[in-house]
């Protein structure tokens, strides 16, 4: 299979001298990462970046820090977004946790529309975008179901859609293959490819 040539452009996420201390435990120390925009001619694509490390090394805590979910007092260093290198704020980066949790008190559609409203869409825009994404991800027939009625893979897709409704630039997926069987892993790979192919803005960090 031929690979289209690519070029590296501006930095889209920069991590400078990042350390994290929880209580007396030093979890992360002096992390420096620069993720560059990868561009291929005549190709609409997002970007998928994978963070590799053994279990317990601190990947989940790194993701929480990147997403702005840690107590600022526990952090030294910086997480900066875009070419302007602005400090990350809560809500700018979507997070899909390892257990693909979405609230059980609302239907799938209700949960996703709420996320769109929180992201600044009006009710009509949120419903239209919701239906479009549910259709693209193959779960539009589950829109009136509750999370407990969905399979693990369906809950995962619903959780991804929920985050895309309010955080379109970056999406963190914490160990998306953990605990999945072979067929479910294949489905998850297809989902990741689908998300990354939505548009040039989307960046996935796994």
Return per-residue pLDDT of the chain as tens, 206 residues. Answer: 456 677 777 888 899 999 999 988 999 999 998 988 877 776 666 677 888 888 788 888 988 888 888 888 899 999 998 878 888 877 778 787 766 666 668 899 998 898 888 878 888 888 888 888 888 888 899 999 988 888 877 887 888 888 888 776 677 877 777 666 777 777 777 777 777 766 656 666 76
Q: Does 135 fall in a domain? A: yes
Say how many domains are in the chain.
1
Question: Cα dihedral angle (24, 59, 92, 134), rounded to 10 degrees?
Answer: -140
Domain that holds residue 24: 6-205
- Cα torsion 184, 190, 196, 199 to 10°: value is -130
Question: CA-CA distance, 98 to 64, in Å (whole number)?
Answer: 12
Does 20 map to a domain?
Answer: yes
Whole-angstrom distance, CA of residue 9 vs CA of residue 11:
7
CATH code assigned at 116: 3.40.50.300
Whole-structure pTM value: 0.73
Q: Does residue 23 form part of some domain? A: yes
Buried b (16+ CB within 10 A) or exposed e, 175-201: ebeeebeeeeeebbeebbeebbeeeee
Instruction: Supply φ then ψ for residue 28, to 5 degrees.
Output: -130, 145
- Integer Cα distance of 158 and 142 in angstroms: 9
Q: Is residue 54 part of a domain?
A: yes
The answer to whether residue 1 sits within a structural domain is: no
Residue 57 lies in a domain: yes
In a domain, 27, yes or no: yes
């Amino acid at each position: 299979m031929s690979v289209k040539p690519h070029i590296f452009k501006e930095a889209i996420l920069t991590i400078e001298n990042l350390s994290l201390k929880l209580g007396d435990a030093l979890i992360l120390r002096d992390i420096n990462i620069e993720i560059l925009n990868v561009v291929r001619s005549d190709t609409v694509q997002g970007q998928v970046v994978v963070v590799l490390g053994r279990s317990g090394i601190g990947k989940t805590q790194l993701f929480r820090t990147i997403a702005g979910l840690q107590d600022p007092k526990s952090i030294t260093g910086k997480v900066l977004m875009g070419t302007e290198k602005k400090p990350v704020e809560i809500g700018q980066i979507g997070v899909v946790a390892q257990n693909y949790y979405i609230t059980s008190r609302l239907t799938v559609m209700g949960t996703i529309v709420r996320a769109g409203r929180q992201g600044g869409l009006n009710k009509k825009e949120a419903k239209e975008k919701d239906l479009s994404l549910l259709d693209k991800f193959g779960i539009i027939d589950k829109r009136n179901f509750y999370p407990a009625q969905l399979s693990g893979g369906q809950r995962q897709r619903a959780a991804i859609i929920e985050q895309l409704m309010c955080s379109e630039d970056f999406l963190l997926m914490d160990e998306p293959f953990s605990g999945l069987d072979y067929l479910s892993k294949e489905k998850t790979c297809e989902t990741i490819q689908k998300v990354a192919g939505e548009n040039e803005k989307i960046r996935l960090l796994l």
